[in-house]
Structure 1
Amino acid sequence: MRARPPAGPRSSLRLIDPRSWADKPVPERKWIVPELVPLRNVTLLSGDGALGKTLLMLQLMAAVSRGERWVGADVEPCRAFGFLCEDDADELQRRWTDIAAEMQCGLDEIGGVTLVSRAEEEDNALMSFNRVTDKGEATPLFRATEEAVLDSGARLAVFDSVHNIFTGNENSRPQVQQFVSMFRGLAVRMNGAVILAGHPSQAGLASGSGTSGSTAWNNAVRSRLYLSRPEAAGEDGGEADRDLRALSSKKSNYGPGGNEMILRWRNGVFVRELPESPLSKNARATAADAAFLACIDMALAQGRPASDAPQSPRFAPRFFRSLPPARGVREKELRAAMERLFASGAVVVGKVKGPDRHDVKAIIRGAK
């Protein structure tokens, strides 16, 4: 018979006999945002600075409070709480006004949201650490915030940003684990979800993984989202669309990983960028062709002939973007238009008089 351990203080254990689940219904998995933000857990949202993490989270808080879709995704209607360290009250009001306009409602019609602005405070640490033992302890500020969250009845709590509220060593696994566990406890007590917004490391940015510091950040959370810019250039080498973002699921313990939404910044908010229909694509292509031809006429009339050589300072798709007929047309669309027009014979390379009255090669209209 195995000897009993010596007497002494020990923790109580909640023992489960799996046979007790026989004939019992399986609990339904619950989410704030299906397959992205699980209930009773912590989600980490990472992204480089100035990409719009705070705005995206403000939109989520407004969406759950009204039970409306968030950038095209379903949500669980609930109250929301935001602990925000990067935007002051004036900036939050400006953003909230844009959000209300997008939702086509008044500011007084978005209820059930509590915001705390800590942008002007010097100390926002929510956990302190013993430098010798790495033991972490919730700060009085966390306890006050926890009480406010629970009193508000919020089931979604957003904390922005990690570098403001975590003052420990981000490469220390014990410290990171304790910090995330503290918020997991809050999520359980509120029967809701906690989202921590943070910045990835340089390595995480370079690799596209969005990770930061110790791998404990990725391991401790049940869901990790990454906000980034889509690839800087299209297949044709065109320029980036600076208003586009990609929100991707880098980790999901309870759902499929790898999901991605393409978002567009418009009128102060993010909206879902849906794939263009064939009719819409054809209409844009026709408009780009017409703009390209109009730019040829304008450039020749001004004595500034355009070239089809990418290294030329007057490379047509790049040069034409500065001309009025191509306003609103992206460079990659003008590149595609040039190729279509060359293929159809609508444009050719011919000789025209340059600014110095010498013959130069340039793109001109083809024979009628």
Structure 2
Amino acid sequence: MNLNILKKQTQNPELTNALGNPSAYSEDFFSVDSSDIQPRLASTPDDRQYLAGGFLPQGIAGLLTGQGAVGKTTLTMQLGAAVATGTEFLGQPCQKGSVLMYLSEDDNCEISHRLHRIQQSLDGQVRSDLVKNLKIFPSPLIHLPMFDYDPAAGGPSATQHFGNLWAAAQKIKDLRLIVIDSYTRINNLDEVNHANASYVALSLEMLARDTGATVLMIHHPPKHGSSETRGSSALLNALRWTASLGYRKKGASGTGGLTLSVAKHNYGPTVSYQLQRQDNGLLSTSKPEPEESEQERNERVIAEVCRFIEESADKEKGVTFSQLRPHAGLNKQFQIAQEKLKALLSEACKQGKLILEDKHYKLPSERVQSVPKPKATVRSYVSI
């Protein structure tokens, strides 16, 4: 693992010393004295700082995933605008400060169109703050990988391009947010390799610690329509905050109905936001809703399956799992993975909610009326 670029760029004295002499740092870090909890209990803990209300913490590295053209870049530009102007994002107040975005997939023309739409949605009094505090690098003329394999070190390494971005961030005063779009464009390493993913996560965390900014990386799923994140799970496991943006149901792309789900939040509850794409392409949102509990999800899925059987061509005969399988998936009708659906159907049969005969799932003679999944009412949309 090559840490030369990280050593060169950091201006944090403690981080500089740790990177300069890992052995000495490790010996001191793992000393018995440093494990004493008394100092932590001697005073009131500091409140955790948030970039956007209780939604996104300040000074951490996070990941936003979603399929292509779903609106990830637009959403993060709206977040950047909210931070730059000190206005609200998803109904949450933002800490005002500078923002640096590297939008490696979008040229100047597209970025300009989005900036004009965002500026027009803002109150005139804060538009000057947008110009002052929001900094954007567009798609470069050539490929500038930030992470690559280093033959000399025999492992992953941050390149000078990452060092140049880091250096630019250090020159910006009161930097609150760094957005890198996207992981695929700036990474030359094998995404499936856990060591590579861990190295990238470590590099993003060091960037966050050195600058004090929240570092948000945008990433794509392995294939169009999938809700899973491409590559090694080490990237998800190492980062403290992850969210995904996707269509509410299969085929809903024409309606603009989207859901932003915070799947991992180490310092607070996970939430989801129902988003609506406006005529100008920007995304608006209602108040966040808590994620449904496992029991609520199970009840909803069984109700959906029962209704599916009721509406099938031969409900007396029932349906096979092969008929149910195409509707399984986090972004599909049942909104549950295939493996979990199969286990849930087995449990429903044990409880008498369903009957399995000759590989066909049937409703019991005295079936319980299935009910649709409750949907949150979006009372108002607030554009930022």
What TM bracket, shorter-length normalisation?
Answer: 0.5 to 0.7
Q: Residues of 2 paired with 1:88 and 1:188: CA distance?
A: 30
Measured after TM superposition, the shift of residue 273 of structure 1 is 4.3
Q: Residues of 1 paired with 2:123 and 2:77: CA distance?
A: 16
**Aligned counterpart for 1:231 among listed residues 249, 261, 266:** 249
Conservation of the 8 A alpha-carbon contact between 1:83 and 1:116: yes
Q: Residues of 2 paired with 1:214 and 1:190: CA distance?
A: 26
Aligned twin of 1:319: none
Aligned twin of 1:156: 177
Asked if residue 11 in structure 1 is aligned to residue 29 in structure 2, the reply is no
Larger radius of gyration: 1
One-letter code of the match for 2:80? M
Name the SS of the counterpart of 1:152 in structure 2: coil
Measured after TM superposition, the shift of residue 163 of structure 1 is 0.3
Q: Residues of 2 paired with 1:34 and 1:107: CA distance?
A: 22
**Aligned counterpart for 1:176 among listed residues 179, 197, 221:** 197
* Percent identical residues: 24
Aligned twin of 2:148: 128
Q: Residues of 1 paired with 2:176 and 2:166: CA distance?
A: 12
Q: Residues of 2 paired with 1:179 and 1:32: CA distance?
A: 22
One-letter code of the match for 2:243? L
Name the SS of the counterpart of 2:76 in structure 1: helix
Q: Residues of 1 paired with 2:235 and 2:207: CA distance?
A: 17
1:272-329 Cα offsets, whole Å, 9 max, x none, are: 1469xxxxxxxxxxxxxxxxxxxxxxxxxxxxxxxxxxx9xxxxxxxxxxxxxxxxxx
Aligned twin of 2:255: 242
1:33-57 Cα offsets, whole Å, 9 max, x none, are: 2343222211100000001111111
1:73-123 Cα offsets, whole Å, 9 max, x none, are: 222222110011011112111100000111133854412111111x24322
- C-alpha spacing 1:67/1:113, structure 2 compared with 1 (3 Å): same
**Aligned counterpart for 1:146 among listed residues 166, 173, 190:** 166
Q: Residues of 1 paired with 2:229 and 2:58: CA distance?
A: 22
- C-alpha spacing 1:172/1:36, structure 2 compared with 1 (3 Å): farther
Q: Residues of 1 paired with 2:262 and 2:93: CA distance?
A: 16
**Aligned counterpart for 1:253 among listed residues 266, 269, 275:** 266
Aligned twin of 2:304: none
Aligned twin of 1:167: 188
- C-alpha spacing 1:133/1:140, structure 2 compared with 1 (3 Å): closer
Q: Which has the higher contact order (CA 8 A, sep 6+)?
A: 2
Conservation of the 8 A alpha-carbon contact between 1:43 and 1:221: yes
Asked if residue 262 in structure 1 is aligned to residue 274 in structure 2, the reply is yes
Q: Residues of 1 paired with 2:235 and 2:160: CA distance?
A: 24
Aligned twin of 1:199: 220
Q: Residues of 2 paired with 1:41 and 1:20: CA distance?
A: 24
- C-alpha spacing 1:143/1:274, structure 2 compared with 1 (3 Å): closer
Conservation of the 8 A alpha-carbon contact between 1:157 and 1:193: yes
Aligned twin of 1:325: none
Conservation of the 8 A alpha-carbon contact between 1:42 and 1:222: yes
One-letter code of the match for 2:208? A
Name the SS of the counterpart of 1:61 in structure 2: helix
Equivalent residues in 2 for 1:1-368 (5 A)? 10-12=23-25, 13-14=28-29, 15=31, 16=34, 17-105=36-124, 108-110=128-130, 111-117=132-138, 119-130=139-150, 135-153=155-173, 154-202=175-223, 205-206=225-226, 208=227, 210-232=228-250, 241-257=254-270, 259-266=271-278, 267-273=280-286
One-letter code of the match for 2:263? K
Measured after TM superposition, the shift of residue 144 of structure 1 is 1.3
Name the SS of the counterpart of 2:112 in structure 1: helix
- C-alpha spacing 1:65/1:22, structure 2 compared with 1 (3 Å): same
Gaps of 5+ in 1: 1-8, 234-238, 276-310, 312-368
- C-alpha spacing 1:146/1:132, structure 2 compared with 1 (3 Å): closer
- Work out the number of aligned pairs and report it: 261
Measured after TM superposition, the shift of residue 263 of structure 1 is 1.0
Conservation of the 8 A alpha-carbon contact between 1:134 and 1:174: no
1:175-208 Cα offsets, whole Å, 9 max, x none, are: 1111111110110111120000010123x954x3
Name the SS of the counterpart of 2:88 in structure 1: coil
- C-alpha spacing 1:274/1:219, structure 2 compared with 1 (3 Å): closer
Q: Residues of 2 paired with 1:109 and 1:19: CA distance?
A: 44
Conservation of the 8 A alpha-carbon contact between 1:71 and 1:270: no
Q: Residues of 2 paired with 1:137 and 1:41: CA distance?
A: 21
- C-alpha spacing 1:54/1:23, structure 2 compared with 1 (3 Å): same
Conservation of the 8 A alpha-carbon contact between 1:39 and 1:192: yes
Q: Residues of 2 paired with 1:205 and 1:216: CA distance?
A: 22
- C-alpha spacing 1:228/1:131, structure 2 compared with 1 (3 Å): farther
Runs of 4 or more, structure 1, over 6 Å off, are none
Name the SS of the counterpart of 1:262 in structure 2: strand
Measured after TM superposition, the shift of residue 243 of structure 1 is 1.3
